[in-house]
Structure 1
Amino acid sequence: MSILGLITLVLHGTLAGMYYSFSMSVIPGLKAIDADAADVAMRSMNRKILTPWLFVPFFGAPILALISGFFAEGSSALWFFAAAAVSLVGSLIVTVIVNVPLNNSLDSTRIGFAEFHPRWNTFNIVRAVSSVASLVLVGVGLTG
């Protein structure tokens, strides 16, 4: 088991946990309060989350899975490559195509939280499931 593989595992786990916690607690919590307060709170979270603590796992997970695949031996390489692909499509691309534009629409007040959350959370669940799948793929790659 390599250090690179373990770091890859941790980054995928970090993303899976973040997406899961948003869908299971943050969004339901915001839905339970006044719509104006939810707008303000979600806009604030969308701004404050943009730090290296997000960007390292967000970009690092698929990149390190790909790199781990090149260094892995035998069938383990395929598991890492699969993890990179699932992470790239299910987390990174979904975020860029769906979630970030919705965040921007909320931030610019073109839409409110009531319009924002159903689509955003649906695709956040896609990101969570993809990140858990990637996490499992990396784990299998580490055991091979």
Structure 2
Amino acid sequence: MMVLGLVTLVLHGTLAGLFYAFSMSVMPGLRAVDAAAAGTAMRSINRKILTPWLFAPFLGAPVLAVVAGVLATGAAAPWYFAAAGVNLVGSVVVTAAVNVPLNNALEAGRISFDDYAPRWTAFNTARAAATVASLVLVGVALTR
């Protein structure tokens, strides 16, 4: 059970770090260059990021939190379930409802980078906050 909890923690941390890095460095860096070049770079990033290295933490973190909650004994289970819920809503739902449609619009040329970046970054920052919160919840579960 400890190994499952630690893998769950690592997946949540990986995802939180990814979202944090984008909001705090990648997007400000792109906004500091020409919008056309930034749009080209972001479209390339959006294509290249779709790998198992993204999907393992993105989908694995909430799934493993649920599995850990089911298998947990004592007071840990609610913390794992809370982590899964926060991650699911704050990461998976926000991604599907906002960030991916914005990525698709940018790819199709239906939105300029200048219009895309502020909204995408705001919702990405919300994803970062949610995944940091879910990381903390898994950490609390591990102490129970």
What is the Cα deviation at residue 84 of structure 1?
Answer: 0.3
Q: CA RMSD in A?
A: 0.6
Counterpart in 1 of 2:111?
A: 111
Give TM-score scaled by structure 2 length: 0.99
What is the Cα deviation at residue 75 of structure 1?
Answer: 1.5
Q: How does 1:34-73 map to 2 (within 5 A)?
A: 34-73=34-73
Counterpart in 1 of 2:139?
A: 139
**Secondary structure of 1:103's aligned partner:** helix
Counterpart in 2 of 1:10?
A: 10
Deviations 1:35-88 (A, max 9, x none): 100010000000000000000000000000000001111210000000000000
Counterpart in 1 of 2:121?
A: 121
Amino acid at match of 1:12: H
Amino acid at match of 1:25: S
Among all aligned residue pairs of Structure 1 and Structure 2, give the percentage whose two residues are the same amino acid: 65
Which whole-Å CA distance do the structure 2 matches of 1:70 and 1:58 have between them?
20
**Secondary structure of 1:73's aligned partner:** coil
Q: How does 1:91-102 map to 2 (within 5 A)?
A: 91-102=91-102
Amino acid at match of 1:3: V
Gaps of 5+ in 1: none
Counterpart in 2 of 1:90?
A: 90
Gaps of 5+ in 2: none
Which whole-Å CA distance do the structure 1 matches of 2:73 and 2:120 have between them?
39
Which whole-Å CA distance do the structure 2 matches of 1:39 and 1:45 have between them?
10
Which whole-Å CA distance do the structure 2 matches of 1:58 and 1:112 have between them?
27
Which whole-Å CA distance do the structure 2 matches of 1:108 and 1:102 have between them?
10
Which whole-Å CA distance do the structure 2 matches of 1:66 and 1:126 have between them?
22
How many residues align? The count is 144
Amino acid at match of 1:52: P
